Amino acid sequence: MTGGAGFLGSHLCDALLADGCSVVAVDNLLTGRLSNLAHLSNESRFEFRELDVCEPFDCGRLEWVFHLASPASPVDYSEHGIETLQVGSLGTFHALDLARKYGARFLQASTSECYGDPLEHPQKETYWGHVNPIGPRSVYDESKRFAEAATMAYLRYYKVDTHIVRIFNTYGPRMQINDGRVVPNFMKQALRGEDLTIYGDGSQTRSFCYVSDEIEGIVRLAKSDEHEPVNIGNPTEFTILECAQKVLDVTGSKSKLRYEPLPVDDPKQRRPDITKAKRLLGWEPKVDLENGLRMSLEYFRGAVGKAIVSR
């Protein structure tokens, strides 16, 4: 599991261990945290290695490679633009080489960002996207598009058994509270009684997938025979204003809304078409936004408390 100390990587480690696998998580802790794996410290089938996947690495014989390493939030990839391009290119080659060497299955964690600011809505996997290759988001978008191309090339040229998941906006416990994504941002602001920041007029839409649903979809895809990208996300669309209101309801906060200009290239709409995942994997999300926020509340309360104490 590359990126195993991250938000999704750590949950995926849990899911695979629960499935009976032995797991080696590798991570350079650029944006991840060891505390995400602390609960596995006594698990004999789990091992953590601190390393940078942009250098060649080898964990010994393995049957699966899950490649999740990459800064993922706009705050993180803006701060680490070069590292983001490197992990999507060099890091992906190294992870693919490992799968090739051991005849392992490979899963690339891709993203809805491959669709850019989409002209087609909702987004089907067949849509090629509308991406600005030189804008501030391009370090992430193009890194992920390159990683998809590399993954398909290892399938075509080397017959590696590859899979590509296009992950849409996922939230839940273990997210960093300062990573600038909508849910942690609103939760943090609401729990501190600060104004909730709305970029633009708040009419732009997002779909939010609870982490347990996302992980279930990823595992099903990794076990499937599908080699081309599959969207895994929640297709229920909310405006940012609706999301803010749900956060206020769930937290019981009296925070107000504060409006700020929309960032450059911010997508106006994002919603996965999950017909393919339903058909091929029998997968669809089960947790709605309100329940997902309720299930995340305790984690965010703790994380906000810790952040205040450590200031």
Ligand X SMILES: NC(=O)c1ccc[n+]([C@@H]2O[C@H](COP(=O)([O-])OP(=O)(O)OC[C@H]3O[C@@H](n4cnc5c(N)ncnc54)[C@H](O)[C@@H]3O)[C@@H](O)[C@H]2O)c1
The residue among 255 and 273 lying less far from ligand X, judged by its C-beta, is: 273
Rg (the chain; Cα; Å): 19
Rounding to the nearest 10 degrees, give the CA dihedral for residues 131, 135, 136, 142: 40
Work out which of 6, 202, 235, 285 binds ligand X, going by CB under 6 A: 6
Say if CB 232 and CB 218 are below 8 A apart: yes
Q: Does 111 bind ligand X (CB under 6 A)?
A: yes
Can 77 be counted among the known catalytic residues? Answer: no
Q: CA-CA distance, 295 to 96, in Å (whole number)?
A: 35
- Count the residues of the shown chain that bind ligand X, applying the rule CB under 6 A: 29
114 lies in the binding site for ligand X (CB under 6 A): no
Whole-number minimum distance, CB 24 to ligand X, in Å?
Answer: 12
> Would you give the binding string for ligand X spanning residues 247-286, x where CB under 6 A is met?
----------------------------------------
Given the DSSP bridges, would you call strands 237-239 and 205-207 parallel, antiparallel or unpaired?
Answer: antiparallel
Residue 249 φ/ψ, nearest 5 degrees: -65, -50
Give strand ranges (E) for the chain. Answer: 23-27, 46-50, 64-67, 105-111, 162-167, 170-171, 196-199, 205-207, 209-210, 230-232, 237-239, 257-260
Strand pairing partners for 130? Answer: 116
In this chain, which stretch among 29-37, 118-126, 216-224, 246-254 interacts with ligand X, using CB under 6 A?
A: 29-37
Looking at 1, 37, 64, 91, which residue binds ligand X (CB under 6 A)? 91
Would you give the DSSP letter of residue 268?
S
Is the CB of 29 or the CB of 119 nearer to ligand X? Answer: 29
By CB under 6 A, the residues from 33 to 72 that bind ligand X are: 52-54, 68-72
Adjacent-strand bridge partners of 46? 23
* Residue 49 or 279 having the CB closest to ligand X: 49
- Residue 3 as a binder of ligand X (CB under 6 A): the answer is yes
77, 102, 115, 140: which one is catalytic? 140
Per CB under 6 A, 172 contacts ligand X:
no
Least distance CB 57 / ligand X (angstroms): 9
Q: Does 167 bind ligand X (CB under 6 A)?
A: yes
d(CA 69, CA 30): 9
Of 138, 170, 255, 296, which lies in the binding site for ligand X, with binding defined by CB under 6 A? 170
The candidate with the shortest Cα–Cα distance to 199, out of 160, 155, 243, is: 243
**Active-site amino acid positions:** 140
